[in-house]
Amino acid sequence: MLKIQKYVRAESLEEAYQELIKNRNNQIIGGMLWLKMEDRVIPSAIDLSKCQLDSIEENENEFKIGAMCTFYQLETHEALNQMCQGMIAKSVRDIVGVQFKNMATIGGSIYSRFGFSDILTALLCLDCDVVCYKKGQIALKEYIHEPYEKDILTHVIIHKRKMKAAFECVRRSSTDFSVLNAAGALIDHQLRICVGARPHKAEMIEIEEQCDLQDILKQVHEAMPCESNMRASKEYREHLRDVLVEKVVNELKGEKA
Amino acid sequence: MKISLTVNGRKIQEDIQESMLLIDFLRSHGYTSVKRGCETSNCGLCTVLMDDHPILSCSMLAARADGHSIVTLEGAGKEAEAFAEFMAKEGAEQCGFCSPGLIMNVIAMKKELKNPTKEEIKQYLSGNLCRCSGYMSQMRAIEKYLQEESV
Ligand SMILES: Cc1cc2nc3c(=O)[nH]c(=O)nc-3n(C[C@H](O)[C@H](O)[C@H](O)COP(=O)(O)OP(=O)(O)OC[C@H]3O[C@@H](n4cnc5c(N)ncnc54)[C@H](O)[C@@H]3O)c2cc1C
Ligand code: FES
Ligand code: FES
Kindly give, in sequence order, each residue whose CB lies less than 8 Å from that of residue A45, ignoring residues fewer than 6 positions away.
A4, A6, A7, A8, A26, A27, A29, B18, B61
State whether B126 and A33 contact (CB < 8 Å).
no
Of A32, A94, A98, the CB nearest to B59: A32
Ligand 2 centre to CA of A99 (Å) is 10
B-chain CB neighbours of A94 within 8 Å are 126
**What CATH number should be reported for the domain holding residue B137?**
1.10.150.120
State whether B19 and A94 contact (CB < 8 Å).
no
Task: Give how many domains chain B has, as a whole number.
Answer: 2
- At residue B148, the pLDDT reads 87
Q: Where are the domains of chain A?
A: 3-42, 56-159, 164-251
What DSSP character marks residue B12? E
The per-residue pLDDT for range A88-111, each reduced to its tens digit, is 999 999 999 999 999 999 999 999
State whether B41 and A33 contact (CB < 8 Å).
yes
The per-residue pLDDT for range A157-180, each reduced to its tens digit, is 999 999 999 999 999 998 999 999
What DSSP character marks residue A212? -
Is there a single domain that holds both residue B52 and residue B93?
no
CATH class entry, domain A164-251: alpha beta
- At residue B151, the pLDDT reads 62
Is there a single domain that holds both residue B83 and residue B19?
no
**Nearest atom (ligand 1) to Cα of A53:** 41
Is there a single domain that holds both residue B67 and residue B81?
no
Chain A interface mutation, best of B2, B15, B39, B41, highest count of A Cβ atoms under 10 Å: B41
A-chain CB neighbours of B1 within 8 Å are 7
Pocket test for ligand 3, best of B43, B130, B135, B138 (most atoms within 8 A of CB): B130
State whether A47 and B19 contact (CB < 8 Å).
no
Kindly give, in sequence order, each residue whose CB lies less than 8 Å from that of residue B41, ignoring residues fewer than 6 positions away.
A33, A36, A37, A96, A100, B56, B58, B59
Q: Is the pLDDT reported for residue A150 higher than 60?
A: yes
Is there a single domain that holds both residue B140 and residue B98?
yes
Q: Is the pLDDT reported for residue B28 higher than 60?
A: yes
- At residue A254, the pLDDT reads 86
Is there a single domain that holds both residue B82 and residue B29?
no
Of A101-105, B33-37, B55-59, B130-134, minimum mean pLDDT range = B130-134
Q: Which domain holds residue B93?
A: 77-150
Fold annotation for A56-159? 3.30.465
**What CATH number should be reported for the domain holding residue B43?**
3.10.20.30
B-chain CB neighbours of A45 within 8 Å are 18, 61
Q: What is A131-193 written as a DSSP string?
A: EETTTEEEEHHHHTTS---S--EEEEEEE---EEEEEEEEESSTTSPEEEEEEEEEETTEEEE
As a whole number of angstroms, the distance between CA A241 and CA A187 comes to 22
Q: Is the pLDDT reported for residue A257 higher than 60?
A: no
Among left, alpha and beta (phi > 0; psi -120 to 50; other), residue A40 is: beta
State whether A4 and B18 contact (CB < 8 Å).
yes
| Cβ atoms A65, A106 nearer than 8 A | yes
Which residue in chain B is spatially nearest to A96 when comparing CA positions? Answer: B127
Q: Is the pLDDT reported for residue B107 higher than 70?
A: yes
